[in-house]
Amino acid sequence: MENARSRPEEVPVPEDRPPHPPFTLETARRKVQAAEDAWNTRDPHRVALAYTPDSVWRNRDRFLTGRDEIVAFLTEKWQRERDYALRKSLWSFHDDRIAVRFQYECRDADGRWWRSYGNELWEFDEHGLMRRREASINDVAIDEADRRIVGPRPADQHGVDIPLW
């Protein structure tokens, strides 16, 4: 019978989330669309897998570290922000970094609709996992009739820039 000492140690295989840095225009666009698609699932566990286990975030005035905190944050966020739908646009990229601007719409528990405008700075590891995310976000109340972001983006709209307002 083989004991634990005689077995070779298993080396964990690093997680991989292509595309990997350094980014090109095409791979940066794919990375941004993949993030948008994942966030529109509103599945905190799925979204958290795009980040390193020790990823650090600044989201508005909140600071998070690690996937467990990301999952808890997103779970609370999507309980509060109902009918959440997001659009992201590539702003810039260089080596292992991407900058995006985004807008999302949601309604609160009282049924009021909001459009949130923001910018994010992303930094990735060599496996394509995001190790740092910084988000600055502003909220504007809107009438339901003024909504323009509904559900996931149709495939024929991938890469189409979002309007400023």
pLDDT tens-digit readout, 91-126: 999 999 999 999 999 999 999 999 999 999 999 999
Residue ranges of the chain with pLDDT lower than 70? 1-14
Rounded CA gap, 44 and 74, in Å? Answer: 5
Q: State the pLDDT at residue 14.
A: 58
User: Residue 104 forms beta bridges with which residues?
Assistant: 86, 116
Q: Which residues pair with 140 in a beta bridge?
A: 115
pTM (2 d.p.)? 0.89
Identify the pLDDT of residue 165. 81
What is the side-by-side strand order in the sheet with 130-142? 62-65, 51-59, 130-142, 113-124, 97-107, 82-94
Calpha distance 79→74 (Å, rounded): 8
- pLDDT at residue number 2: 45
Residues 137 and 59: beta-carbon distance below 8 Å: yes
